[in-house]
Amino acid sequence: MIFEEQSAVHDVFILTDGMVKLYRLLEDGRRQITGFLVTGDILGSPKREASAHCTAQAVTDLQACAFERSAFFGLLLRYRDLALRLLIMATDEIETQHEHTVIIGRKRTDERLAAFLVTLHARWTEAGETEEVVHLPMSRADIGDYLGLTIESVSRAFSRLKGAGVIDIPSPHRIVLRNLPALHDLAGLEHLPARTVTLGL
Amino acid sequence: MIFEEQSAVHDVFILTDGMVKLYRLLEDGRRQITGFLVTGDILGSPKREASAHCTAQAVTDLQACAFERSAFFGLLLRYRDLALRLLIMATDEIETQHEHTVIIGRKRTDERLAAFLVTLHARWTEAGETEEVVHLPMSRADIGDYLGLTIESVSRAFSRLKGAGVIDIPSPHRIVLRNLPALHDLAGLEHLPARTVTLGL
DNA sequence: CGGGATGTTGAGGCAAGTCAATCTAAGTGG
DNA sequence: CCACTTAGATTGACTTGCCTCAACATCCCG
Protein backbone atom coordinates (compact mmCIF):
# COMPACT_ATOMS: atom_id res chain seq x y z
CA MET A 1 0.00 0.00 0.00
CA ILE A 2 1.52 3.32 -1.06
CA PHE A 3 -1.17 5.65 0.20
CA GLU A 4 -4.88 5.45 0.92
CA GLU A 5 -7.89 7.55 0.05
CA GLN A 6 -8.36 10.48 2.44
CA SER A 7 -4.91 10.13 3.93
CA ALA A 8 -2.23 12.76 3.59
CA VAL A 9 0.38 12.14 0.93
CA HIS A 10 3.90 13.17 1.84
CA ASP A 11 5.72 12.44 -1.37
CA VAL A 12 5.62 12.54 -5.11
CA PHE A 13 6.95 9.34 -6.66
CA ILE A 14 8.55 8.44 -9.91
CA LEU A 15 8.22 4.75 -10.57
CA THR A 16 11.52 3.23 -11.59
CA ASP A 17 10.28 -0.35 -11.63
CA GLY A 18 7.05 -2.26 -11.15
CA MET A 19 3.34 -1.55 -11.46
CA VAL A 20 0.89 0.43 -9.32
CA LYS A 21 -2.89 0.45 -9.35
CA LEU A 22 -5.06 3.42 -8.40
CA TYR A 23 -8.57 2.81 -7.18
CA ARG A 24 -11.53 4.02 -5.20
CA LEU A 25 -13.83 1.98 -2.99
CA LEU A 26 -17.54 2.34 -2.30
CA GLU A 27 -18.84 1.64 1.17
CA ASP A 28 -20.29 -1.72 0.18
CA GLY A 29 -16.96 -2.91 -1.18
CA ARG A 30 -17.45 -2.20 -4.85
CA ARG A 31 -14.15 -1.06 -6.30
CA GLN A 32 -13.19 0.88 -9.39
CA ILE A 33 -9.60 0.93 -10.55
CA THR A 34 -8.95 4.21 -12.33
CA GLY A 35 -5.54 3.42 -13.71
CA PHE A 36 -2.34 1.43 -13.72
CA LEU A 37 1.09 3.02 -13.56
CA VAL A 38 4.23 1.45 -14.98
CA THR A 39 7.93 2.18 -14.95
CA GLY A 40 8.64 5.81 -15.69
CA ASP A 41 5.23 7.10 -14.62
CA ILE A 42 4.73 9.77 -12.00
CA LEU A 43 2.52 9.30 -8.97
CA GLY A 44 1.21 12.14 -6.84
CA SER A 45 -0.88 15.26 -6.99
CA PRO A 46 0.71 18.63 -7.72
CA LYS A 47 -1.82 20.22 -5.35
CA ARG A 48 -0.52 21.79 -2.19
CA GLU A 49 -2.83 20.29 0.44
CA ALA A 50 -3.47 17.00 -1.27
CA SER A 51 -5.13 14.38 0.79
CA ALA A 52 -5.38 11.51 -1.63
CA HIS A 53 -8.66 11.18 -3.45
CA CYS A 54 -7.86 7.58 -4.32
CA THR A 55 -5.79 4.68 -3.09
CA ALA A 56 -2.46 3.70 -4.62
CA GLN A 57 -1.35 0.12 -4.16
CA ALA A 58 1.49 -1.94 -5.54
CA VAL A 59 0.60 -4.64 -8.07
CA THR A 60 4.17 -5.96 -8.19
CA ASP A 61 7.32 -5.35 -6.21
CA LEU A 62 8.29 -1.74 -6.72
CA GLN A 63 11.19 0.59 -7.04
CA ALA A 64 10.50 4.28 -6.97
CA CYS A 65 12.14 7.61 -6.46
CA ALA A 66 10.36 9.71 -3.82
CA PHE A 67 10.40 13.50 -3.68
CA GLU A 68 9.26 15.16 -0.53
CA ARG A 69 6.26 17.29 -1.48
CA SER A 70 7.72 20.55 -0.25
CA ALA A 71 10.87 19.94 -2.28
CA PHE A 72 8.71 19.17 -5.27
CA PHE A 73 6.86 22.47 -4.87
CA GLY A 74 10.17 24.26 -4.63
CA LEU A 75 11.03 22.85 -8.04
CA LEU A 76 7.57 23.73 -9.36
CA LEU A 77 7.93 27.37 -8.33
CA ARG A 78 11.52 27.66 -9.43
CA TYR A 79 11.40 26.14 -12.89
CA ARG A 80 8.59 27.61 -14.90
CA ASP A 81 8.88 24.93 -17.56
CA LEU A 82 8.07 22.25 -15.05
CA ALA A 83 4.52 23.40 -14.41
CA LEU A 84 3.96 23.62 -18.14
CA ARG A 85 5.32 20.12 -18.66
CA LEU A 86 3.14 18.76 -15.90
CA LEU A 87 0.18 20.62 -17.35
CA ILE A 88 0.72 18.85 -20.67
CA MET A 89 0.95 15.54 -18.85
CA ALA A 90 -2.21 16.26 -16.91
CA THR A 91 -3.95 17.15 -20.16
CA ASP A 92 -2.83 13.87 -21.68
CA GLU A 93 -4.11 12.09 -18.60
CA ILE A 94 -7.52 13.72 -19.01
CA GLU A 95 -7.57 12.50 -22.57
CA THR A 96 -6.72 8.99 -21.39
CA GLN A 97 -9.48 9.15 -18.80
CA HIS A 98 -11.94 10.16 -21.52
CA GLU A 99 -10.90 7.16 -23.57
CA HIS A 100 -11.44 4.98 -20.51
CA THR A 101 -14.85 6.54 -19.96
CA VAL A 102 -15.85 5.65 -23.51
CA ILE A 103 -14.64 2.10 -22.94
CA ILE A 104 -16.60 1.43 -19.77
CA GLY A 105 -19.60 3.58 -20.69
CA ARG A 106 -20.25 2.39 -24.21
CA LYS A 107 -18.39 -0.82 -25.03
CA ARG A 108 -19.27 -4.47 -24.56
CA THR A 109 -17.20 -6.91 -22.57
CA ASP A 110 -15.02 -8.26 -25.37
CA GLU A 111 -14.38 -4.79 -26.73
CA ARG A 112 -13.29 -3.60 -23.30
CA LEU A 113 -10.87 -6.45 -22.87
CA ALA A 114 -9.49 -5.97 -26.38
CA ALA A 115 -8.96 -2.28 -25.68
CA PHE A 116 -7.22 -3.15 -22.43
CA LEU A 117 -4.86 -5.61 -24.11
CA VAL A 118 -4.08 -3.31 -27.02
CA THR A 119 -3.33 -0.39 -24.73
CA LEU A 120 -1.11 -2.43 -22.43
CA HIS A 121 0.65 -3.90 -25.42
CA ALA A 122 1.38 -0.42 -26.71
CA ARG A 123 2.91 0.47 -23.38
CA TRP A 124 5.08 -2.65 -23.26
CA THR A 125 6.19 -2.08 -26.83
CA GLU A 126 7.14 1.45 -25.90
CA ALA A 127 9.17 -0.04 -23.08
CA GLY A 128 11.16 -2.20 -25.46
CA GLU A 129 9.16 -5.41 -25.74
CA THR A 130 9.38 -6.62 -29.33
CA GLU A 131 7.20 -9.71 -29.27
CA GLU A 132 3.47 -9.61 -29.51
CA VAL A 133 3.08 -10.49 -25.89
CA VAL A 134 1.34 -8.73 -23.04
CA HIS A 135 2.38 -9.26 -19.45
CA LEU A 136 -0.48 -8.97 -16.98
CA PRO A 137 0.96 -8.71 -13.48
CA MET A 138 -2.48 -7.86 -12.08
CA SER A 139 -5.20 -10.34 -11.13
CA ARG A 140 -8.46 -10.95 -12.98
CA ALA A 141 -10.20 -9.10 -10.16
CA ASP A 142 -8.05 -6.05 -10.90
CA ILE A 143 -8.83 -6.25 -14.61
CA GLY A 144 -12.52 -6.55 -13.83
CA ASP A 145 -12.47 -3.60 -11.48
CA TYR A 146 -10.61 -1.58 -14.09
CA LEU A 147 -13.03 -2.41 -16.89
CA GLY A 148 -16.22 -2.28 -14.86
CA LEU A 149 -16.81 -6.05 -15.09
CA THR A 150 -16.84 -9.07 -12.80
CA ILE A 151 -14.00 -11.58 -12.57
CA GLU A 152 -16.14 -14.16 -14.34
CA SER A 153 -16.97 -11.87 -17.24
CA VAL A 154 -13.29 -11.10 -17.69
CA SER A 155 -12.39 -14.77 -17.64
CA ARG A 156 -15.10 -15.60 -20.17
CA ALA A 157 -13.99 -12.77 -22.42
CA PHE A 158 -10.45 -14.14 -22.37
CA SER A 159 -11.79 -17.56 -23.30
CA ARG A 160 -13.86 -16.16 -26.17
CA LEU A 161 -10.90 -14.25 -27.59
CA LYS A 162 -8.80 -17.37 -27.31
CA GLY A 163 -11.54 -19.42 -28.95
CA ALA A 164 -11.64 -16.92 -31.80
CA GLY A 165 -7.89 -17.38 -32.31
CA VAL A 166 -7.15 -13.75 -31.54
CA ILE A 167 -5.02 -14.48 -28.51
CA ASP A 168 -3.24 -17.33 -26.74
CA ILE A 169 -3.05 -17.72 -22.98
CA PRO A 170 0.06 -19.74 -22.09
CA SER A 171 -0.47 -18.61 -18.50
CA PRO A 172 -3.09 -16.35 -16.91
CA HIS A 173 -0.52 -13.57 -16.67
CA ARG A 174 0.96 -13.92 -20.11
CA ILE A 175 -1.10 -13.22 -23.22
CA VAL A 176 0.10 -13.75 -26.78
CA LEU A 177 -1.56 -11.51 -29.35
CA ARG A 178 -2.02 -13.76 -32.38
CA ASN A 179 -4.01 -11.30 -34.43
CA LEU A 180 -3.23 -7.75 -33.46
CA PRO A 181 -5.21 -6.10 -36.30
CA ALA A 182 -8.33 -8.00 -35.30
CA LEU A 183 -7.78 -7.02 -31.70
CA HIS A 184 -7.35 -3.37 -32.67
CA ASP A 185 -10.50 -3.59 -34.71
CA LEU A 186 -12.44 -5.04 -31.83
CA ALA A 187 -11.03 -2.50 -29.40
CA GLY A 188 -12.15 0.34 -31.64
CA LEU A 189 -9.73 2.80 -30.08
CA GLU A 190 -9.49 6.06 -31.91
CA HIS A 191 -6.02 7.05 -30.86
CA LEU A 192 -3.58 5.14 -28.76
CA PRO A 193 -1.76 7.45 -26.39
CA ALA A 194 1.38 8.77 -28.05
CA ARG A 195 2.95 9.80 -24.81
CA THR A 196 5.37 7.77 -22.78
CA VAL A 197 4.77 9.03 -19.26
CA THR A 198 1.52 8.90 -17.33
CA LEU A 199 0.71 11.26 -14.50
CA GLY A 200 -1.06 9.23 -11.85
CA LEU A 201 -3.79 10.80 -9.69
CA MET B 1 -21.03 22.93 -32.87
CA ILE B 2 -17.96 24.54 -31.34
CA PHE B 3 -15.33 22.15 -32.61
CA GLU B 4 -15.22 18.54 -33.71
CA GLU B 5 -13.01 15.59 -32.94
CA GLN B 6 -9.83 15.52 -35.05
CA SER B 7 -10.28 19.08 -36.22
CA ALA B 8 -7.88 21.86 -35.36
CA VAL B 9 -8.92 24.14 -32.53
CA HIS B 10 -8.08 27.80 -32.99
CA ASP B 11 -9.23 29.24 -29.70
CA VAL B 12 -9.47 28.75 -26.00
CA PHE B 13 -12.88 29.71 -24.65
CA ILE B 14 -14.19 30.93 -21.36
CA LEU B 15 -17.90 30.29 -21.13
CA THR B 16 -19.74 33.38 -19.94
CA ASP B 17 -23.20 31.92 -20.38
CA GLY B 18 -24.84 28.66 -21.38
CA MET B 19 -23.90 24.99 -21.37
CA VAL B 20 -21.58 22.90 -23.52
CA LYS B 21 -21.30 19.13 -23.87
CA LEU B 22 -18.09 17.26 -24.71
CA TYR B 23 -18.35 13.86 -26.34
CA ARG B 24 -16.75 11.19 -28.43
CA LEU B 25 -18.40 9.03 -31.05
CA LEU B 26 -17.72 5.44 -32.06
CA GLU B 27 -18.00 4.44 -35.71
CA ASP B 28 -21.34 2.73 -35.20
CA GLY B 29 -22.87 5.83 -33.67
CA ARG B 30 -22.47 5.01 -29.99
CA ARG B 31 -21.70 8.19 -28.12
CA GLN B 32 -20.12 8.93 -24.77
CA ILE B 33 -20.46 12.38 -23.27
CA THR B 34 -17.42 13.02 -21.11
CA GLY B 35 -18.57 16.22 -19.49
CA PHE B 36 -20.77 19.29 -19.37
CA LEU B 37 -19.41 22.81 -19.04
CA VAL B 38 -21.34 25.69 -17.50
CA THR B 39 -20.86 29.41 -17.07
CA GLY B 40 -17.36 30.24 -15.90
CA ASP B 41 -15.76 27.05 -17.17
CA ILE B 42 -12.83 26.98 -19.54
CA LEU B 43 -12.85 25.09 -22.80
CA GLY B 44 -9.74 24.17 -24.74
CA SER B 45 -6.52 22.26 -24.50
CA PRO B 46 -3.32 23.93 -23.31
CA LYS B 47 -1.37 21.76 -25.71
CA ARG B 48 0.37 23.46 -28.57
CA GLU B 49 -0.67 21.32 -31.53
CA ALA B 50 -4.07 20.36 -30.23
CA SER B 51 -6.36 18.78 -32.70
CA ALA B 52 -9.41 18.12 -30.61
CA HIS B 53 -9.67 14.64 -29.15
CA CYS B 54 -13.39 15.14 -28.59
CA THR B 55 -16.30 17.16 -29.91
CA ALA B 56 -17.63 20.25 -28.16
CA GLN B 57 -21.21 21.18 -28.88
CA ALA B 58 -23.59 23.74 -27.45
CA VAL B 59 -26.45 22.45 -25.31
CA THR B 60 -28.03 25.89 -24.98
CA ASP B 61 -27.44 29.27 -26.55
CA LEU B 62 -23.97 30.38 -25.58
CA GLN B 63 -21.89 33.38 -24.77
CA ALA B 64 -18.17 32.90 -24.53
CA CYS B 65 -14.94 34.79 -24.51
CA ALA B 66 -12.48 33.42 -27.11
CA PHE B 67 -8.70 33.71 -26.84
CA GLU B 68 -6.68 32.99 -29.91
CA ARG B 69 -4.45 30.05 -29.07
CA SER B 70 -1.20 31.82 -29.82
CA ALA B 71 -2.21 34.70 -27.55
CA PHE B 72 -3.11 32.18 -24.87
CA PHE B 73 0.31 30.57 -25.12
CA GLY B 74 1.87 33.99 -24.83
CA LEU B 75 0.11 34.40 -21.51
CA LEU B 76 1.08 30.90 -20.46
CA LEU B 77 4.77 31.57 -21.07
CA ARG B 78 4.69 35.03 -19.61
CA TYR B 79 2.87 34.44 -16.35
CA ARG B 80 4.32 31.54 -14.49
CA ASP B 81 1.38 31.42 -12.11
CA LEU B 82 -0.99 30.72 -14.94
CA ALA B 83 0.49 27.33 -15.80
CA LEU B 84 0.38 26.41 -12.12
CA ARG B 85 -3.25 27.48 -11.84
CA LEU B 86 -4.18 25.53 -14.93
CA LEU B 87 -2.27 22.55 -13.58
CA ILE B 88 -4.38 22.63 -10.43
CA MET B 89 -7.52 22.86 -12.54
CA ALA B 90 -6.38 19.97 -14.70
CA THR B 91 -5.69 17.95 -11.56
CA ASP B 92 -9.19 18.68 -10.29
CA GLU B 93 -10.56 17.64 -13.63
CA ILE B 94 -8.73 14.31 -13.40
CA GLU B 95 -10.28 13.81 -9.98
CA THR B 96 -13.71 14.57 -11.44
CA GLN B 97 -13.12 12.11 -14.26
CA HIS B 98 -12.21 9.44 -11.71
CA GLU B 99 -15.45 10.09 -9.88
CA HIS B 100 -17.27 9.75 -13.18
CA THR B 101 -15.44 6.51 -13.90
CA VAL B 102 -16.61 5.10 -10.58
CA ILE B 103 -20.16 6.15 -11.40
CA ILE B 104 -20.39 4.49 -14.79
CA GLY B 105 -18.14 1.55 -13.95
CA ARG B 106 -19.61 0.46 -10.65
CA LYS B 107 -23.02 2.03 -9.97
CA ARG B 108 -26.52 0.99 -10.94
CA THR B 109 -28.89 3.11 -12.95
CA ASP B 110 -30.65 4.91 -10.07
CA GLU B 111 -27.37 5.63 -8.32
CA ARG B 112 -25.95 7.10 -11.49
CA LEU B 113 -28.90 9.41 -11.96
CA ALA B 114 -28.86 10.44 -8.30
CA ALA B 115 -25.16 11.25 -8.56
CA PHE B 116 -25.83 13.26 -11.69
CA LEU B 117 -28.59 15.28 -10.04
CA VAL B 118 -26.65 15.90 -6.85
CA THR B 119 -23.57 17.05 -8.75
CA LEU B 120 -25.53 19.36 -11.02
CA HIS B 121 -27.39 20.73 -8.02
CA ALA B 122 -24.11 21.52 -6.32
CA ARG B 123 -22.99 23.42 -9.40
CA TRP B 124 -26.24 25.41 -9.61
CA THR B 125 -26.10 26.18 -5.90
CA GLU B 126 -22.55 27.43 -6.36
CA ALA B 127 -23.92 29.65 -9.11
CA GLY B 128 -26.43 31.24 -6.77
CA GLU B 129 -29.49 29.04 -7.03
CA THR B 130 -31.05 28.83 -3.56
CA GLU B 131 -33.97 26.49 -4.13
CA GLU B 132 -33.61 22.76 -4.26
CA VAL B 133 -34.12 22.69 -7.97
CA VAL B 134 -31.99 21.38 -10.80
CA HIS B 135 -32.25 22.74 -14.31
CA LEU B 136 -31.53 20.20 -16.99
CA PRO B 137 -31.04 21.97 -20.29
CA MET B 138 -29.81 18.79 -21.94
CA SER B 139 -31.99 16.05 -23.44
CA ARG B 140 -32.57 12.59 -21.98
CA ALA B 141 -30.34 11.26 -24.75
CA ASP B 142 -27.53 13.49 -23.48
CA ILE B 143 -28.03 12.31 -19.92
CA GLY B 144 -28.01 8.71 -21.08
CA ASP B 145 -24.85 9.17 -23.10
CA TYR B 146 -23.23 10.87 -20.13
CA LEU B 147 -24.15 8.11 -17.68
CA GLY B 148 -23.61 5.18 -20.01
CA LEU B 149 -27.33 4.34 -20.22
CA THR B 150 -30.10 4.38 -22.80
CA ILE B 151 -32.75 7.08 -23.01
CA GLU B 152 -35.33 4.64 -21.71
CA SER B 153 -33.29 3.62 -18.70
CA VAL B 154 -32.83 7.28 -17.80
CA SER B 155 -36.53 7.96 -18.13
CA ARG B 156 -37.43 4.95 -15.99
CA ALA B 157 -34.91 5.98 -13.34
CA PHE B 158 -36.51 9.43 -13.20
CA SER B 159 -39.90 7.79 -12.75
CA ARG B 160 -38.65 5.53 -9.98
CA LEU B 161 -37.07 8.41 -8.07
CA LYS B 162 -40.29 10.34 -8.48
CA GLY B 163 -42.30 7.34 -7.31
CA ALA B 164 -40.07 7.08 -4.25
CA GLY B 165 -40.85 10.72 -3.43
CA VAL B 166 -37.22 11.74 -3.73
CA ILE B 167 -37.78 14.14 -6.61
CA ASP B 168 -40.56 15.92 -8.46
CA ILE B 169 -40.59 16.48 -12.21
CA PRO B 170 -42.71 19.53 -12.99
CA SER B 171 -41.24 19.45 -16.47
CA PRO B 172 -38.65 17.15 -18.08
CA HIS B 173 -36.05 19.88 -17.78
CA ARG B 174 -36.82 20.99 -14.27
CA ILE B 175 -36.30 18.66 -11.32
CA VAL B 176 -37.26 19.45 -7.73
CA LEU B 177 -35.18 17.67 -5.12
CA ARG B 178 -37.67 16.78 -2.39
CA ASN B 179 -35.28 14.72 -0.32
CA LEU B 180 -31.72 15.81 -0.83
CA PRO B 181 -30.21 13.62 1.94
CA ALA B 182 -31.81 10.52 0.46
CA LEU B 183 -30.52 11.51 -2.95
CA HIS B 184 -27.01 12.05 -1.59
CA ASP B 185 -27.21 8.71 0.09
CA LEU B 186 -28.27 6.98 -3.10
CA ALA B 187 -25.60 8.80 -5.11
CA GLY B 188 -22.90 7.61 -2.72
CA LEU B 189 -20.47 10.32 -3.76
CA GLU B 190 -17.46 10.59 -1.55
CA HIS B 191 -16.61 14.20 -2.16
CA LEU B 192 -18.45 16.71 -4.21
CA PRO B 193 -16.05 18.88 -6.15
CA ALA B 194 -15.10 21.91 -4.07
CA ARG B 195 -13.86 23.87 -7.03
CA THR B 196 -15.88 26.39 -8.98
CA VAL B 197 -14.27 26.24 -12.39
CA THR B 198 -13.97 23.22 -14.64
CA LEU B 199 -11.32 22.83 -17.28
CA GLY B 200 -12.95 21.23 -20.33
CA LEU B 201 -10.99 18.82 -22.56
C1' DC C 1 -54.94 22.58 -34.59
C1' DG C 2 -51.58 19.28 -37.02
C1' DG C 3 -46.98 17.37 -36.97
C1' DG C 4 -42.36 16.53 -35.62
C1' DA C 5 -39.32 16.05 -31.85
C1' DT C 6 -38.83 14.57 -27.23
C1' DG C 7 -40.20 11.91 -23.33
C1' DT C 8 -42.64 8.01 -21.01
C1' DT C 9 -44.26 3.41 -20.50
C1' DG C 10 -44.75 -1.58 -21.58
C1' DA C 11 -43.31 -6.30 -23.23
C1' DG C 12 -39.78 -9.29 -24.14
C1' DG C 13 -34.81 -10.54 -24.99
C1' DC C 14 -30.09 -10.81 -23.93
C1' DA C 15 -25.57 -9.60 -22.03
C1' DA C 16 -23.57 -9.55 -17.94
C1' DG C 17 -24.09 -10.64 -13.03
C1' DT C 18 -24.64 -14.17 -9.33
C1' DC C 19 -23.90 -18.42 -7.25
C1' DA C 20 -21.61 -22.62 -7.21
C1' DA C 21 -18.54 -26.35 -8.76
C1' DT C 22 -14.21 -27.52 -10.69
C1' DC C 23 -9.54 -26.87 -12.17
C1' DT C 24 -4.79 -25.21 -11.72
C1' DA C 25 -0.65 -23.86 -9.70
C1' DA C 26 2.06 -22.54 -5.97
C1' DG C 27 3.26 -23.22 -1.70
C1' DT C 28 3.87 -25.96 2.95
C1' DG C 29 4.78 -29.41 6.00
C1' DG C 30 5.28 -34.39 7.07
C1' DC D 1 8.92 -36.43 -2.79
C1' DC D 2 4.34 -36.46 -2.17
C1' DA D 3 -0.30 -35.34 0.26
C1' DC D 4 -2.58 -31.29 1.67
C1' DT D 5 -3.86 -26.53 1.55
C1' DT D 6 -4.98 -22.30 -0.46
C1' DA D 7 -5.66 -18.60 -3.68
C1' DG D 8 -6.71 -17.59 -8.21
C1' DA D 9 -8.81 -18.76 -12.57
C1' DT D 10 -12.13 -21.10 -15.34
C1' DT D 11 -16.50 -23.02 -16.47
C1' DG D 12 -21.47 -24.03 -15.95
C1' DA D 13 -26.36 -23.10 -14.63
C1' DC D 14 -29.40 -19.77 -13.55
C1' DT D 15 -31.03 -14.89 -12.61
C1' DT D 16 -31.56 -10.16 -13.47
C1' DG D 17 -30.88 -5.37 -14.79
C1' DC D 18 -30.56 -2.99 -18.60
C1' DC D 19 -31.35 -2.83 -23.60
C1' DT D 20 -34.33 -3.28 -27.63
C1' DC D 21 -38.33 -2.62 -29.95
C1' DA D 22 -42.74 -0.73 -30.04
C1' DA D 23 -46.68 1.98 -28.64
C1' DC D 24 -48.28 5.96 -26.68
C1' DA D 25 -48.05 10.69 -24.43
C1' DT D 26 -46.60 15.38 -24.30
C1' DC D 27 -44.93 19.59 -25.78
C1' DC D 28 -43.66 23.04 -28.81
C1' DC D 29 -43.94 25.91 -32.86
C1' DG D 30 -45.72 27.27 -36.85
Q: Indicate the SS3 state at residue B61.
A: coil
Residue among A19, A54, A25, A52 at smallest CA distance from A37? A19
Where residue B60 falls among pLDDT bands split at 50, 70, 90?
Answer: very high
Residue B103 CA to residue B109 CA, distance in Å, equals 9
CA distance A131 to chain B (A): 29
For residue A7, what pLDDT is reported? Answer: 94
- Tell me if A47 and B91 make a contact (CB, 8 A cut-off): yes
- Nearest neighbour of A54 by CB, restricted to B30, B98, B107: B98
Residue B63 CA to residue B55 CA, distance in Å, equals 18
The pLDDT averaged over each successive group of 10 residues in chain A (201 residues) is 94 96 97 97 87 96 94 87 92 97 98 98 88 96 98 98 98 97 96 83 86
As a whole number, mean pLDDT of residues B150-156 equals: 98
Distance from residue B104 (CA) to nucleotide D25 (C1'), in Å? 30
Looking at the predicted structure, is the pLDDT value of residue B190 above 90? no
- Nearest neighbour of A87 by CB, restricted to B54, B86, B145: B86
- Helix ranges, chain B (H): 69-78, 80-106, 109-126, 140-147, 151-163, 180-187
For residue A23, what pLDDT is reported? Answer: 98
Where residue B77 falls among pLDDT bands split at 50, 70, 90?
Answer: confident
Q: How many helices (H) and strands (E) does chain A have?
A: 6, 10
What is the per-residue pLDDT across B82-107, written as a single tens digit (0 to 9) for each?
A: 999 999 999 999 999 999 999 999 99
Q: State the average pLDDT for chain B.
A: 94
Where residue B37 falls among pLDDT bands split at 50, 70, 90?
Answer: very high
Q: Say what the pTM is.
A: 0.96
